[in-house]
Amino acid sequence: MTVRRHLLFAALNSTLLLPAAALAQEAQPSVKDRARSAATASRARTGSSDALQSNYVTPGLSGQTITTIDGKTGFTANLSCQKTSTLLELLVQPGSTGDLTQVRISHDRDFDGSFDSQTLLPVPVSGICANGVIACNPGTWVGCRYYGWSVDGALNINLAQTQMTSLSGCYCLNNSCGGNLAWANMPEVLKDLGGGVVGALTTADPRIGVAQARVEGTMISYTGAQTTSCTAQPEVSATRYRSSPTDIQGDAYSLSQASSVFQALAGSAAGSGKTEQVRNCSIEREVAVKEWSFDDIVAVRGSVTKVTSCGTDCRRYEIRGSGSCGSVPPIYSATFEPLAPARIKSARIVEMGADDWVQARVNGQIVGYAGKRPWLGEALPSGDCRISDDPWYNRTAIDITSQLTSGTTVVGARVRGGGGGNWGYVTLEVQVDTSCETSERVVDLCSGYGADPQCRLKSESVDDVVTFSNGVGTGLSPLPQTRTMGTGTCAVQLTRDFFLKERRYACIIDTGSPASPDLSRAVYIIDRSTETVLNDRIQKGDGSVQQTSRAFSMPTQDPVAACEPICKTRKARTNSDAAVDGVIGALQTSDQGWDSYYHVCSADNVCPAGDGEEIVSACGCLDDFPEAVTMMQTVRLAGADLVCTAGAQ
C-alpha cells in the first residue's frame, strides 16, 4: 500500500509540473520580440535629430553622461577641450513698427562660463537672412541696407555692410509685410538670427562646436564647446586645404607612405595588380569685385554735430559743444575707427573756432587752439572768460593721417567760454579712396594629376568648348571670353583666355595580379537548387568532391505593410521672403502662402498635425512623386534661364 501511494504521488507531481514548464517556455520572448524591442528602444533614442542631439551630441560636447540604448550603462565622453553652458546669448526687442529695435549678443569667447563680449547691433533689423540682416526705414521696405555677419580674429561678432546678392534665405519682418510677425514667430526669428551668428562664428574658428540651443521668450542661448584642435591657435590643419587645395594630394601621399595600415593593404592580394581610375578636376579663374563706400573705410561715433561733403570721397566732421567759465572746461570727443586704413588718403584738422577758446586734441594730446591768447597746456588760458570781441578762428591745417591709419583715433574739442559766447568746435576733414577693387586667382586642382606620370589627359573642355576627347585633341580652341563681373557702379568687364577648364584624367593604379576568386561552388548551388531543395558541392581536404542534397525552406515571414503610412498637412504663412526686387508678397496679388509638412502616422493611424496645421491628405500610402518632379524641373529650368540671360542690363 505504501509503494502504491508513493507512485501515485510521483505521478501527480509530474502531471502538475508539466503545464508549469510549458507555461515558462511560452513566457520566454522570441527572437523576433527581442529584435522588435531593441529596434523600438534604438528608435526612441536615435530616431530623430532632436533625439540624437539630446541623447548623444549635447552630453558628449558638454561633458555629461551618455547611456547605452537600454539605459543600463553610462559613461562620460571627453570630446572637447573646453566647454561652456553660456557660449552665446541673443536677446531681441521688437518695436511698434515690427522691426527689431534692439538686438544684443553676449558671447563667452574664452569658454570660462561667463560672458566677456557684448555686441549691440547699430541698426534696427527689418529683415533676416541666413547669413545676415536687412535694415530699412522703420516699418517700411524703403532705404534698405544689407549686412552680413562677420567675426574678427579676436572672435568679436559684428555686422559688415554688403550687397543683397551676398545674402541668402532673406525674409521681411516689419509692418510693411504684415502685422506682429516678430512676436507671432519669435522662436523661428531667434533660431534664424542665432543660426547666422553661429555659422559665422564656427567659420571663423572651426574648433567651436554648438551642442544645444534653448529659446526662452525673446532670448536664445547656445551651449558650446571647443573641439578638434586643443591648441591656443584656432587654425585646424585640415582647413588650410580650403585656400590651397592642391596640397591635399602631396599630403595624402606622404601620410600613406608613413602608414603601416596603408602599406599592409597596398601589399595584400587585394592591393596587387593594375587598374585604371578616371579622376575629374578643374582649373577655374575666380574673380572678386568689391565695391567700397565711405562707411566701409571709416566708422565714426561720438560728439559729431554736423557732417558735410567736401568733394568726391571727402567728408568734414564738426565736433562742437558749449563752454564753461565756472568749472573745468568740458571735452567733446569723437572716435574715428579705420576699417580699411590703406584706403584713407588724408585726415586733417582744417578749422577750429570758438567764442572764447577751443583746444584741439588727438588721442589726448593737444595739437592746436583758437582764441585771443594761446592755450596749449592743461591750465586755463589767461584773461577774462567773458570776452565780447568777435569769435576766433584757426584755419591752419593739422595733418593727423598717420594717427588715423595706425588705429582708432579720438579727436576732441575742449571748450571754454561764457556770456554771449560759450561755444567752440573742431572740424576734421577725411579723404578716402572708394574706387572698385578687383582681384582674381586661378585655382588649379589638376596640377597633381598633370605631374603624375601614371595619369594621362582623357578629355578637356574650356569654357564649354571640347578641346580634348578620348585622349585625342579635337583641334578646337575657345576664343577669349569677355564677362561682366560685379554689379552697379563696380561692374567691370574682363577678357581672359579662359575662365573654366574641366578635365578628366585616366590614372593607372598598380595592383599586381590578384587571384581570381573561385565561384564554382556558388554557381553550382544557384543552378541546381530550388525553393524547397538545396543542392551543394563541397570539396574535401583530400581534394575529392562530395555532392549533397537536402530539404530547404525559408522561415515564415511576418506580413509587411505596403508602405509606412504618412499624412500631409499645411499651415498658413505670410509670403515675407525678400529678394533684390523687394518683398515677394508685395509682388503677388495676395501675400497669403502655405508651408507643407509630412508626418509619419501613429500606430493607430492618426496624423500628428502640429499647431495651426490643417490636414491635406489623411494617413495612407501617399505618392507625391509627380509633384516633386515638377518642382525640381521648375527649379532646373529657372536656373538654366538665369544662366542664359545673366549679364549687363
Q: Which amino acid is at 204?
A: A
Q: What is the DSSP letter of 138?
A: T
pLDDT computed for residue 19 by the predictor: 46
How far is it, in rounded angstroms, from Cα 483 to Cα 504? 25
Please report, rounded to a whole number, the percentage of residues in the chain having pLDDT higher than 70.
86
CA distances from 381 to 189, 287, 349, 370 (A): 57, 59, 21, 11
In this predicted model, which residue has the larger pLDDT, 270 or 51? 51
Nearest to 518 by CA among 542, 544, 537: 537
pLDDT computed for residue 338 by the predictor: 94
Distance between first and last Cα of the chain: 119
Q: Which residues of 465-478 are buried (b: 16+ CB within 10 A; e: fewer)?
A: eebbeeeeeeeeeb
How do 398-399 and 344-355 pair as beta strands?
antiparallel
Q: Are 387 and 356 in contact (CB under 8 A)?
A: yes
pTM: 0.48
The arithmetic mean of pLDDT across residues 132-160, rounded, is 91
pLDDT(2) > 50: no
pLDDT(371) > 60: yes
How far is it, in rounded angstroms, from Cα 245 to Cα 110? 31
Q: Which residues pair with 576 in a beta bridge?
A: none
How far is it, in rounded angstroms, from Cα 160 to Cα 143? 17
Nearest to 81 by CA among 35, 112, 124: 112
Which range is least confidently modeled, 125-129, 172-176, 584-588?
584-588
pLDDT computed for residue 128 by the predictor: 93
In this predicted model, which residue has the larger pLDDT, 320 or 238? 320
Q: What does pLDDT average to over the chain?
A: 83
Residue 200 φ then ψ, to 5°: -65, -35
